[in-house]
Amino acid sequence: MAHRVSQTAKQNPADIADCPAGERALGFAGVVADIFSKRRSALMTSLGDSALVIPAASVRIRNGDVDHEYRQDSDFHYLTGFDEPQSVAVFRPGTDEPFVLFARPHDRSREIWEGPRAGLEGARADFGADLALAIEELDAKLPGLLTGFQRVYYRFNGQSDFDKRFLAILDLCRRLGRQGKTYPTEIVDTETILHRARRIKSDDEVDKMARAAAITGEAHKAAMRLARSGLHEYHLDAALRNEFLQGGAQRAAYPSIVASGNNATYLHYVENRAPLGADDLVLIDAGCEYEYYASDVTRCFPVSGRFTPAQRELYELVLQSQIDAVNAVRPGATLQAIHDGVRATLAEGLRALGFPPPSSLSSSDQADIDAAWAKPYFMHKTSHYLGMDVHDVGPYFQDGAQLPLESGVVVTIEPGLYVPADDMAAPEQYRGIGIRIEDDVLVTTGAPCNLSSDIPKSIEDVERECARG
């Protein structure tokens, strides 16, 4: 499948030179509804004589009587487009009412406080439900809706607070079985049928991810321009959030990492409170969520606006490994092979820079030697899937072997080197430096399409952007 990124997604400001322009399939409610309808149609075909049950995400308490911002479950949104809590979607192929949506009815007294609801009428008219029922009827109605199906797809621990309720409903189904009715006796993880589909992105999904990357690019550039000694990491964090929301994103895709100096050697540092030192290198791992699709980008830059010689040497090494890895994102390639290539480049560079050999090594295989040499300073994988979830769903293996990449898959490419300040084995000039460079890359039928290519990455471009502040 060839994938195209529209000009609309690229407006202000990303220029994705390697991706030919296409047409954006959004902007009209009917077209948006049609996207979800087509997904459900494909799902029904895949389900065959099985049913699927997906609960909406639960409202979570932040503290006291304050809730966290609500964000719908990705699987639920992928099939319904319905963003309200206290909902359950049921898919029953081969029946007169294949898409059943349990939802909250209109309630004027609650809507005054919480905002408007779609109601049961909206669930049918606006979201395509063949049958809409009040969520209060779930326990009474769902057992009957599942009779006739021996296999039901459901993901335990997806929305764990619903699991106990679902098990009770299955028990009610068994009671119907005593009346001679077919009832579910096999529960299969949703991953096996739905997550394979989500692994391959449609043109519309790629469009949204390109837009998320464009907004993220503006955020990273704003942070580069803002940084200076005397500010704190939280000032840069605030600049990121501002650009995300000003650009039209709904939220950050994950807690932003804004790590200066030695903080950058901690992989998931999210405190974001330290002062920026004049000689610090800042690592920012931040992305936004646009219409439910995430970006995930990491850039590093010097607070002073100029890389020191030691920072430059480590940065150029990571950058070369990252560029090579991006170019390796092709159909048929595996993420492990790409990761092995990154480790080989980093290991060779670390040896050249005077880093010590591994303390013990029993293998004579070059790949094992490279892995051992790089591991103290590169301890994570190079890639993961990206989509509605920042660590997106989809299988990585099939029959025990790595699943090859194919057109439509989006992956991150994110090598790094992390040299703690207290690592006395490392050459002194590199201690306290953490570097990661990450892009979002679409697999196409030909050359890879780097969705985040517009964000400064070369030393020259990074220093130029910093100088604009």
Say whether 422 is catalytic.
Answer: no
Residue of 218, 280, 296, 370 marked catalytic = 296
Helix (H, G, I), strand (E, B) or coil at 433: strand
Residue of 198, 384, 392, 430 marked catalytic = 384
Say whether 65 is catalytic.
Answer: yes
Residue of 204, 237, 285, 291 marked catalytic = 285
| HSE value, Cβ hemisphere, 13 Å, CA-based, for 138 | 22
Report residue 347 CA to chain centroid gap: 29
Say whether 384 is catalytic.
Answer: yes
Nearest to 11 by CA among 201, 209, 215: 215
Say whether 137 is catalytic.
Answer: no
Say whether 195 is catalytic.
Answer: no
CA–CA distance from 240 to each of 211, 243, 378, 413, 464 (Å)?
Answer: 16, 5, 26, 21, 19
Say whether 380 is catalytic.
Answer: yes
d(CA 103, CA 82): 10
d(CA 427, CA 355): 6
Residue of 68, 106, 391, 464 marked catalytic = 391
Say whether 391 is catalytic.
Answer: yes
d(CA 138, CA 233): 48
Cβ-based burial of 467 (10 A; exposed 0-12, middle 13-18, buried ≥19): exposed
Would strands 99-103 and 131-134 be described as parallel, antiparallel, or unpaired? parallel
- DSSP line for 152-204: EE--TTTSHHHHHHHHHHHHHHHHHHTTT-----EEE-GGGTTHHHHHSPPHH
CB atoms within 10 A of CB 327: 15
Residue of 269, 315, 418, 430 marked catalytic = 418
Say whether 418 is catalytic.
Answer: yes
Say whether 389 is catalytic.
Answer: no
Residue of 62, 65, 108, 161 marked catalytic = 65
Contact 72, 118 (CB under 8 A): no
Residue of 268, 273, 312, 464 marked catalytic = 268
d(CA 395, CA 417): 27
Residue of 218, 370, 438, 465 marked catalytic = 438
Tokens in use for 232? Answer: 């704190």
Tokens in use for 391? Answer: 């660590």
CB atoms within 10 A of CB 110: 11
Say whether 285 is catalytic.
Answer: yes
Say whether 280 is catalytic.
Answer: no
Element (H, E) at 320: helix 309-327
Element (H, E) at 150: none
- Residues with catalytic roles: 65, 268, 285, 296, 380, 384, 391, 414, 418, 436, 438
